[in-house]
Amino acid sequence: MKFLLQVDCDTVKIVMKSQIPDPVPGLLQQALVELEAEFASLPAYAPAYDAGDSASAQLLSEVALRLGDNYPYFHPLYAGQMLKPPHPVARAAYALAMKLNPNNHARDGGRASSAMEIEAVREIAAMFGWKEFLGHLTSGGTFANLEALWVAGQQRPGQRIVASSQAHYTHQRISAVLGLHFNSVATDKRGCLDLNALEDELKAGDVGTVVATLGTTAIGAVDPLDQILVLQSRYNFRIHVDAAYGGYFKLIPEALDEPARRAFAVIDRADSIVIDPHKHGLQPYGCGCILFRSPEVGRFYKHDSPYTYFTSSELHLGEISLECSRAGASAVALWATQRLLPLVPGGKFAAGLKAGRAAALELDSRLRKDERFTALATGKPELDIVVWKLRDENSERASMLAQKIFDLAAERNLHLALVKLPRDWFDPSGNDEHITCLRSVLMKPEHLEWIDRICEILTGATDAAFDAKKG
């Protein structure tokens, strides 16, 4: 790496200067020329805002310096939260679309980008085995799940929504916003929805929708969807699958263990599915997607808006969405990425998922060989999230050690995450007291190549933490 010395009046900063060129400007240059040519027949005009002056350039330099106050989310040594850098083509396509700034609420605001959204969403649905469906992009997983639960409330008015205690917290919050009754169901020690606890809820006869999470936020646990479907045949409820994080793992069943493989194999039998392309799908924020198996749910969205839909008799995405204005650039970026990296088993995109999972399995394996750590008692990670705690009988001490290692690793440029989990997930003889653990999300394909470096830094940070503890 090269380093750039910046001298300020009162401070001296050493800034890393990357040797890796950013391909996006080069990708954009010719494409912008071609886009301009598409509108060459328009008469010339003087834009009200001219950003070609020195003041604008100076301001952008200031913006760049401000943005430097971030974790290096793009780098393989960032292995903390669910943050995956967008593909360069996605970034370039998004920036190209922003020349027009289309709005995909209606074809009048985003004609080309609306068509691209429909095509891109069709490809996601096909990944799950659906040809007939209703779906669209959203601003993110939260709003996608809101639409799923809103339809659930329309189809089963007055009935409850239930989800596991490890489901995303927004399901409970969304239910409250929608005025729906929500109950949290216990999990087993794998972090999955407990089937006995679920059946106890179902016996009451008032559960309308069960949320199955395929890839929980904390540990990437996969709820047993195949067994939930068995209960559905007895108790007649809807199933919504929140696969915001884990949905793309449908493409690599051969890389999954049997329980997760069985769950993804029957995802097509769900009533609705949410997936976030801005997680594993290599997209900029925000880009979520909601899919319904039955196109008939479109009747719940029906509304009159003569001031919005007037130039086309074709479907407007705003007619099947609760959101109004949405960035058409998100659809353009997703469409371009999926053209370059199709959502097919055995393809380059799927290979990236397999690399991340392989990295997670390797890290988990190495952690289990270090007597200072305790990994999940139930076995290997189900997807690409790894969690571990410090081996100490005292939970408070173990939690403090986790925090210390987290800090020391960050000083060494390895960025992890912290999560509080029940102690008995790691030690079956323990209690359900919550303990602070270390967590790593290895979702970048590059993580596999960097696993030795990651483990080297983690070992050094752990050594330093234990030395400090002895002192």
- Inside any domain, residue 376: yes
**Same domain, yes or no, for 163 and 303?**
yes
pTM check: above 0.75: yes
**Same domain, yes or no, for 197 and 305?**
yes
**Same domain, yes or no, for 313 and 459?**
no
* Bridge partners for 163 per DSSP: 184, 211
Alpha-carbon distance of 147 to 356, in angstroms, equals 30
The pLDDT assigned to 12 comes to: 32
Residue 357's domain spans which residues?
A: 348-470
Alpha-carbon distance of 196 to 322, in angstroms, equals 35
Residue keyed to tokens 């998922």: 353
**Segment holding 136, helix H or strand E:** strand 134-138
- Inside any domain, residue 14: no
- Inside any domain, residue 383: yes
Query: Is beta strand 238-242 parallel, antiparallel or unpaired with respect to 207-213?
Result: parallel
**Same domain, yes or no, for 140 and 190?**
yes
**Same domain, yes or no, for 303 and 395?**
no
Neighbours of 310 (CB within 10 A): 11
Alpha-carbon distance of 335 to 287, in angstroms, equals 12
321, 340, 359 - which closes a domain: 340
The pLDDT assigned to 135 comes to: 96
The pLDDT assigned to 305 comes to: 54
Under DSSP, the state recorded for 78 is B
- Three-state secondary-structure class, residue 291: strand
What CATH number is attached to the domain comprising 464? 3.90.1150.170
- Inside any domain, residue 9: no
Q: Which two tokens stand for residue 347?
A: 């393809």
Alpha-carbon distance of 256 to 226, in angstroms, equals 15
Amino acid 244 reads A
Alpha-carbon distance of 234 to 36, in angstroms, equals 60
305, 340, 375 - which closes a domain: 340
What CATH number is attached to the domain comprising 219? 3.40.640.10
Q: Could you tell me which of 367, 376, 353 has the C-alpha nearest to residue 191?
A: 376
297, 322, 340 - which closes a domain: 340
**Same domain, yes or no, for 330 and 358?**
no
**Same domain, yes or no, for 291 and 173?**
yes
**Same domain, yes or no, for 429 and 377?**
yes
- Inside any domain, residue 30: no
Query: Do 203 and 154 touch, CB atoms closer than 8 A?
Result: no
The pLDDT assigned to 4 comes to: 38
**Same domain, yes or no, for 392 and 305?**
no
Number of domains in the chain: 2
Alpha-carbon distance of 389 to 375, in angstroms, equals 7
Tens-binned pLDDT, residue by residue, of the chain (471 aa): 333 333 333 333 334 445 567 999 999 999 999 999 999 999 998 888 877 788 999 999 999 999 999 999 999 999 999 999 999 999 999 999 999 999 999 888 999 999 999 999 999 999 999 999 999 999 999 999 999 999 999 999 999 999 999 999 999 999 999 999 999 999 999 999 999 999 999 999 999 999 999 999 999 999 999 999 999 999 999 999 999 999 999 999 999 999 999 999 999 999 999 999 999 999 999 999 999 999 999 999 886 555 444 444 556 788 889 998 999 999 999 999 999 999 999 999 999 999 999 999 999 999 999 999 999 999 999 999 999 999 998 999 999 999 999 999 999 999 999 999 999 999 887 777 999 999 999 999 999 999 999 999 999 999 999 998 876
Q: Which two tokens stand for residue 298?
A: 């479109």
**Same domain, yes or no, for 431 and 320?**
no
**Same domain, yes or no, for 359 and 447?**
yes
**Same domain, yes or no, for 285 and 219?**
yes
- Inside any domain, residue 11: no
